[in-house]
Structure 1
Amino acid sequence: MDARPRLYLNHDIDFDWLRAVEFGRVTEDQPEERWHALSATFAYLAEEAGGRIVGFVVEDFPDFDEDAPEHAAIWKDPRFDAPVLGLSDATAGEIVLAARTFFAGRDSINRSIFGMATEVDGEEAVERWRHCLEAGDGMAHFALGYTLFELGRHAEAYRHLRHYTEIAPMGAWNWCWYGRAAEAIGEIAEARTAYGRAIELEGDGDDEQTDAAERLAALGGE
């Protein structure tokens, strides 16, 4: 039997959402087939299509109705551990209730650090993005990566940007920045592959176009 996912909780009061996902994962830029939505405001995330559930997201968290008929399934399996809430073997519904009391209208610590990191640049930004990452927020890999890149620390940037495409594979900009880092450290074949993937994702309907096509062309790629 698979171990219960140990959830990392991510709460943002400006966006009114709660993200509860297994440590080391993110909910951003996931393949559509990994999502199982119960309503417009609640969805489970699986590690692969039809696979083990590794977390869930709640939109419009302050007004979310955990007792609505469409949310009846959140009081049943799957079950999770949520260490920060002191919960083990808990349903999504139980976690939602506990998180509402625990956060009480404030951001989770990672989101507080995330906000501070966006207000600075250079080495100070690097320090804050690292703090955000150390607080458990996998999204910080991307911001730390491009910040390091812009400081000319390409080898360090490469590790974080490559990893972010592994945990958030459907973001065109994720792949474009990974390609830029790979190109900067001389991994040209890897850069071509990354730029190509960015272009594919743009073709699948990504609203924001990257400069991957221009960069690939400059490398002599098709």
Structure 2
Amino acid sequence: MSTPSSASPSPRRREPGSLSGLWIYPLVVVLLLAGERIVDLIRLAVERTLTVSLELPAEEPVDTVIGDERMPLAGVVDLTLPLERFSPAAIVFQAASAVLFIVGLAIACWYSIRAVTHMTRSTPLDPRAARAMTGLFWTVVATGIVSGFVQMLGDNLVIRDLGLNDLPVDNSITTTMIWVWLAVVSGIGIIRALLIRGARAETELEGVI
């Protein structure tokens, strides 16, 4: 009499994670943020024009003459003017700020995609996800500081070239932008710290078991 053989367990099939497509969201955010700077660089190379942003913190519009036109300016003003209106130093600083911002966003996008990929394909506490978040954190910090500093220098040169020194005109790095950048950096830092502590606790728990 033959005994029924025990069926060997079939290998598990890896089911596609429902979160595996989340990597597309960092890419979309980066494209939206970098799109305006990319357009500005294309205008600079093709149309020979420079787009600059200046802030007028005064509550009332300020009348000024730019070129041959008199116009009231208020709030954050975007100006697109021929390169002949600006000094070479102002053009270089403005272009360098845009390039640094785009490169920084590209690196940040790469780190964020790596973090999302590791968290969706393995476990959220994967040490590789924590390392990717660390890279993302320092990339955002460095990009904000370096690109923002170069942008401020370029804006100050633009203000000088346009003869706006006597008007209440400030650079485009507003207080709101600084607070938003600090909030983003803080959020990334908190997530990074949670992942590092969670991965450490998971490793210690596996050692105890």
TM over 0.5: no
Name which structure has the greater RCO, CA cutoff 8 Å, separation 6+: 2
TM-score by length of 2: 0.28
Which protein is bigger by CA-based radius of gyration? 2
Higher helix share: 2
